Amino acid sequence: MIIAVDGPAASGKGTVARALARHFDLPHLDTGLLYRAVAYTVHRLELDPTREADAIAACDFDELTLADPALRDDEVGQLASVVSVHPLVRAALFQRQKRFANQPGGAVLDGRDIGTVIAPEADAKLFVKATAPVRARRRHHELTERGREITYEQVLADIRARDARDSARSTAPLTQAADAAPLDTSALTVEAATRRAIALVNGRLIGRRSTA
Ligand code: C5P
């Protein structure tokens, strides 16, 4: 069983995807980490993230980078949305994600294009969203808890800039797959969002069985 979870930054898609993986006992891949690893490598090698050739050179990143806590920084997220615009970067990361999705027994993947590009055949697809101010409040809380000094307004502006870049790019833009179930987490607690996500996936699985 493949479960695709897509959505914008700080929508709660990572939390929902991890909870689904635990509930259905499936391996989970946070695909944003791959783009973050490319971005971080571009930065470390002092390459230009806007040049496709430079970003491609960083796709061959050291596997240990994936465990680096620095990948979680907001600056790396912003840079990831710059390198992820390049079609050749997306192509370089495609097979790895596809293999993960198609492993025996299935998997949960979260990102921006899982339901549309990586696993259009997924058994269940969720599109997790929340209003920009709610997402900015969550991210601001997370960053200040980690000791970062940043204003809510700056976080909101960053989120809006990232949304615009992720939605406007021509290759694999952030968009809800036609057959994805929407899950708006704006007014939900983590527990409520998790319960709702499990119910939506179960609903999809029952729907698929009855039409098979
Ligand atoms: O999900 P996360 O915020 O970690 O993703 C960082 C950036 O990586 C996103 O803003 C997006 O530009 C890019 N990304 C993508 N496709 C994915 C996952 C992430 O383009 N499947």
Domains and CATH numbers, the chain: 2-194 (3.40.50.300)
pLDDT value for 60: 94
CA 89 to centroid of ligand 1, rounded, Å: 12
Q: pTM here?
A: 0.95
Q: What is the mean pLDDT of residues 146-172?
A: 92
CA 36 to centroid of ligand 1, rounded, Å: 7
Mutate to test the pocket of ligand 1, among 5, 34, 35 (most ligand atoms within 8 A of CB): 35
Cβ 112 under 6 angstroms from ligand 1? yes
Cβ 36 under 6 angstroms from ligand 1? yes
Question: Which secondary-structure segment (H or E) carries 160?
Answer: helix 152-168
pLDDT for 97 beyond 90: yes
pLDDT value for 172: 86
CA 212 to centroid of ligand 1, rounded, Å: 33
Contact between 103 and 74 under an 8 Å Cβ cutoff? The reply is no
Give the residue with greater pLDDT, 209 vs 14.
Answer: 14
Burial (0-12, 13-18, 19+ Cβ within 10 Å), 154: middle
Q: Whose CA is nearest to atom 3 of ligand 1?
A: 9
